[in-house]
Amino acid sequence: MPELKVTQQHLDHDAYLYIRQSTPRQVLENTESTQRQYALRDRAMALGWPLERIHVLDCDLGKSGSQSAGRDGFQKLVSEVALGKAGLVMGLEVSRLARNSADWHRLIELCSLAGALILDEDGIYDPANFNDRLLLGLKGTMSEAELHFLKARMRGGLLNKARRGELEMRPPVGLVYRDDGVLILDPDAEVQAAMRLVFEIFDRTGSAMTGASSSARSGSTSDEVSRFARPRRGGGTVKWQHPAREARAGRFAAQRAVVSRVLTQAL
C-alpha cells in the first residue's frame, strides 16, 4: 500500500502543496482544476499531517511551468525541500510542479536527498526508491513532451491560417486593418502627419537617434507613433503623448526605439 511509505520521520516534517494554473484565463475559467488541487490537503490530512502543518503555495497561479524563473512559489518549495523542512511535496500532477525536465529532476534529487515523499493524484512516490524515481522521471518527460506538442499544434494552426492569407497580426505602426481584413494607411490625418514628420526628420538628419531628439524638442503633438500600432477597426481614438514629456520622464530610449521601428518596418 502507498500509505506504508509514510513513516514517522516524514510526519515529523511539514507537507507542502503546490498549486498552479498556466494562465490567468485558466484561473478564471478552469475553477474545477483549482479546486481539485486544493483538495489534496485532505489527502495529506488522511495520511497523518495536521492542517496547521500543511503549507499551500499558490502564488504561481496564472504562471507557466515551462521554467522556474518568475515562479516564486516553486522557488520557495525547492528552498524548503533543500533546507530539510519538507516531509511531503504535493501537486495534482507533474505538470503542475514543472514542465521543464531540468527543474523537475532537480526537485526529485532534492527530495531524495532530504528524504521527502512526492504525492500526486495517482499515488505516493519515494524519490530515493529506484522504481519510484524511474516513474517520476517518465512522468516529467511526458509532461515536457506534452508542452512541446501543444506549442506545435498552436504554431501549426497559425502557419495554416497564414498560408490561406487569413492570419491577422499586430500591424506596423501607422497601418490599420480595414473591415475586410486589408491593411491600409491609418485614415487619421494626424497619424499620417506624424509618420511623414518622422521620415522628414530622418531625411534631414540621417539618424534615428537625432530624429527622436528633434521630435522631443519640436514641441509637436505628432510624434507619439507607438499609440496607433494597434488595429483600430470601426474607428477608435488615438491617444497622443508629447515626446518632450517622454524625454523629461527619462523615456528617451523608448521614444528612439519607436522612431527606429517606424523607419525600418515595411510600409
- Give the residue numbers annotated as catalytic, written as ranges: 22
44, amino acid identity: A
3-class DSSP string for the chain: CHHHHCCHHHHCCEEEEECCCCCHHHHHHCHHHHHHHHCHHHHHHHHCCCHHHEEEECCCCCCCCCCCCCCHHHHHHHHHHHCCCEEEEECCCHHHHCCCHHHHHHHHHHHHHHCCEEECCCCEECCCCHHHHHHHHHHHHHHHHHHHHHHHHHHHHHHHHHHCCCCCCCCCCCEEECCCCCEEECCCHHHHHHHHHHHHHHHHHCCHHHHHHHHHHHCCCCCCHHHHCCCCCCCCCCCCCCHHHHHHCCCHHHHHHHHHHHHHCCC
143, amino acid identity: S
Cα atoms found within 13 Å of the Cα of residue 14, Cβ hemisphere only = 16
